[in-house]
Amino acid sequence: MIHVAVLDDYQRRAHQWADWSSLGEDVEVEFFAEPMQPDELVAELAPFQVLVLMRERTRFPEAVLAKLAQLQLVVTTGMRNASLDVAHLFSRGVVVSGTEHDPGGAGVSSTIEVAWALILATAKRVTTEDRALREGRWQTDLPVNLSGATLGLLGLGRLGAQMVGPARAFGMEVIAWSQNLTAERAAETGAQLVSREQLFARSDWLSIHLVLSERSRGLVGAAELAAMKPGATLINTSRGPIVDREALVDALRQGRITAGLDVYDHEPLSAGDPLTRVPGAVLLPHLGYVSEAAMRVMYGQVVEDIRAWKAGEPIRRLGG
C-alpha cells in the first residue's frame, strides 16, 4: 500500500478537487487540514511514501525531511517551493514534482484580482468604514480616487504585467522597476521604466510582483518605506519576506504609509501578531492563488504527477 499525505488542506476540500480514486486501490490518501509544528510533522508523516504540499505553507528543512525515511515522492504545487529543501531530497533520490500554471490563467487571474481588491479596499476605506458602520459611525474619513494616481510595480514579469491593464482602465499612471527590467519591456506592457528610487518616491500604490529569492529577500526595507510618499500604500501579494517585517510594522504604527497584505513571513499569521494591531493595514490570509478554479487545476496535476511516478515515468520534475 502506498500512503499519500496531502498537507495544508485549509478549506478541507482537496478531496473534492481531483479524482484521487484514479490512483488505484493500492493508494491510500489522507488529508491534513491543520498546520503542524516540526516535531508533529515527523510524528505524523513518518509512515508516508508520498507528500503533497501546498507551496510554501509548511516548511520542510533537511532536519525534518531526514527523519522521513519512507519518503519516495514529494509533489508541490507550483514549480518552485522556497520552503522545501529540494537539494536534500535530490541527494536521497527522492523524486520531486510540481504543477504548472493553468493555460487558462486561473491562478494568475486570482492573484491579480486579490491585488486589485487590496488596492480598492485601501483606496475606498472598505474595511475601515465597514467596521465603523457596524459601530454606529458614519463616514469617518474620505476615500481617495485612483484616477490620476500612480501605480508603481516592483517587478514586471508575468504577474506584474497583468496589473497594467486595470490600472489604465482606472486612469492611473503606471511606473515600474526591477533589476533586469528594460525600457523596451516596460513600454510593451504600457508601463514606464523608472529608477528604484523614483519607484518608491512617486508611487501612490506600490505593488510587489517578484519571486522570493536571496536577491529579493528584504529588498523593501526601512529606507525604501521611508522614501515612499506620506499616505502611500504598499501592496504585497508576492511573498512576505520581500519586505522587512519590523520596518513595515514600524511604518504602519507611525501612520506614514498604509498597506494591503496577502502574504507574511510566517503563515498562518498568528493571533495577536503585530500586523493585526497596527492601523492602516488591510489583511487577507494568502488568497492570491487559491481560487477554486486554480485549486482544481493544481490538485488535478498533483494526481497526474503521482500516477506518472507510480508508472515509473515521473513528470514535471523540479530541477529537470
> Cα–Cα distance between 279 and 275 in angstroms, integer?
9
Q: How far is CA 111 from CA 105, 172, 192, 299, in A?
A: 10, 20, 22, 18
Q: Rounded to 5 degrees, what are φ and ψ at 203? A: -75, 135
Confirm if 260 and 121 have CB atoms less than 8 A apart.
Answer: yes
> Cα–Cα distance between 142 and 248 in angstroms, integer?
24
Query: What is the b/e burial string over 276-299, where b = at least 16 CB atoms within 10 angstroms of the residue's CB?
Result: eebebbbebebbbbbbeebbbbbb
- Is 245 catalytic? The answer is no
Q: Rounded to 5 degrees, what are φ and ψ at 76? A: -115, 145
* Residue 92 amino acid letter: R
> Cα–Cα distance between 203 and 305 in angstroms, integer?
42
> Cα–Cα distance between 38 and 59 in angstroms, integer?
8
Indicate the length of the chain as a whole number.
320
> Cα–Cα distance between 81 and 59 in angstroms, integer?
9
Of 55, 125, 209, 239, the active-site residue reads 239
Query: What is the b/e burial string over 16-49, where b = at least 16 CB atoms within 10 angstroms of the residue's CB?
Result: ebbebeebeeebebebbeeebeeeebbeebeebb
- Is 158 catalytic? The answer is no
> Cα–Cα distance between 249 and 311 in angstroms, integer?
50
Of 267, 304, 316, 317, the active-site residue reads 267
Q: Rounded to 5 degrees, what are φ and ψ at 36? A: -125, 145
Confirm if 160 and 209 have CB atoms less than 8 A apart.
Answer: yes
- Is 286 catalytic? The answer is yes
- For the annotated catalytic residues, the residue numbers are 239, 267, 286
